[in-house]
């Protein structure tokens, strides 16, 4: 009986831990996306200029701070801070070695979906 109880408790705890990201707050999701950008080996193209992860993350963070009152979700964060230049209207692109370039919006939404499913 004790072994069965321990097993069931362990099972419940592991299930609760696996739900951690499923119930992450918008700020936790945004923080994850910023860390994801900052640590990437991919190149971030903004208005024709290529940036590394830390440079891209710094720019996105600056825009997020500017639009803080409008950002209520990770999707808002992506739309306001990491999709396109507000001055030129050009969409940001992400170039990862060995892969087709994608818009930063697609790249970040894919990562957000992955994060939520963990």
Q: Which residues of the chain form beta strands (DSSP E)?
A: 43-46, 49-51, 93-95, 102-103
What ranges do the domains of the chain cover?
24-117
Tens digit of pLDDT for each residue in 42-93? 999 999 999 999 999 999 999 999 999 999 999 999 999 999 999 999 999 9
Q: What is the pTM of this model?
A: 0.81
Give yes or no for residue 6 having a pLDDT over 80. Answer: no
Coil, strand or helix at 49? strand
80: left (phi over 0), alpha (psi -120 to 50) or beta: alpha
Give yes or no for residue 103 having a pLDDT over 60. Answer: yes
Alpha carbon distance 86, 92 (integer Å): 11
CA end-to-end distance (rounded Å), the chain: 32
């Amino acid at each position: 009986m004790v072994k069965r109880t321990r097993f069931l408790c362990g099972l419940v705890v592991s299930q609760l831990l696996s739900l951690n990201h499923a119930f992450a707050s918008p700020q936790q999701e945004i923080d994850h996306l910023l860390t994801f950008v900052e640590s990437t080996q991919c190149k971030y193209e903004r208005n024709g200029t290529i940036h590394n992860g830390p440079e891209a993350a710094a720019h996105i963070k600056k825009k997020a701070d500017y639009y803080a009152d409008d950002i209520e979700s990770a999707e808002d964060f992506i739309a306001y801070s990491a999709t396109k230049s507000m001055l030129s209207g050009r969409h940001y692109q992400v170039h990862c070695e060995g892969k087709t370039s994608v818009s930063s919006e697609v790249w970040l939404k894919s990562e957000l979906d992955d994060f939520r499913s963990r």
